[in-house]
Amino acid sequence: MRVVIAEDNALLREGLVLLLTSTGHEVVAVVGTGPEILPALLDRRPDAAVLDVRMPPTFRDEGLRAALAARKEIPGLPVLVLSQYVEESYAAELLGGGVSGVGYLLKDRIGRVDEFLDALERVAAGGTALDPEVVAELLTRRRGSPLETLTPREREVLKMMAEGHDNTTIAKTLVITERSVSKHIGNVFLKLGLPPSDSGHRRVLAVLAYLNNA
């Protein structure tokens, strides 16, 4: 996989380069400021981009803005955005541009190497990878919506779907059968007014689209 990295923290930046190269990926560009991001993405046309939300010179949302601009220039460009904290407005804005090939992780998640690499691969394949804490924020802040009609178990299943997990993983994590998972998913779609689908990927996209627009 060809990857562009945008991160201002030198230690984290070099750590990401070492991690990705040591696991067989090719880092085609590394930038440390906001204005460098878009030119690097347009020039290198990577398979995926790993971008910090806050970059110099203002440390506000340069990385996010670059990600949104790049996806307009390169439709479907897989982007995994990193953030120090849960910032719902940033997550919602990123999802608003289309949820295919999008990830939003807290930086703490990078230390869990397998989880980070799995998230990057899912995003590069056109899937989604939302940090569990981000999903929790999205779910708990949707007051006055059909989400409040979900049972605790249905919310657990929805949360894991939004994180990008398939039915098998959900079943193992919650220690229930896959048949039970399918039943809960059916109930979730029914209560949220979303058409069920045989595709786990499409189900995730539908749920995320609902969360973004609820």
- Taking alpha carbons only, the member of 37, 31, 27 closest to residue 68 is 37
Q: pLDDT grade, residue 103 (50/70/90)? A: confident
152-162 and 132-140 helices, crossing angle to 10°: 130
Return the top range by mean pLDDT from 79-88, 91-100, 119-128: 119-128
Q: How many Å apart are CA 174 and CA 166, to the nearest integer? A: 12
The percent of residues above 90 in pLDDT, for the chain, comes to 43
**pLDDT tens by residue, 122-150:** 899 988 888 877 777 766 665 566 777 88
pTM: 0.74
Amino acid at position 108, single letter: D
Tens-place pLDDT, residues 13-27? 999 999 999 999 999
More confident residue, 58 or 108: 58
SS3 call for 85: coil
* Look-up of token digits 């609902």: 210
Average the pLDDT over 94-108 and give the result. Answer: 77
Cβ-Cβ contacts under 8 Å for 60 (sequence gap 6 or more):
54
Bond preceding residue 78 cis, omega within 30 of 0: no
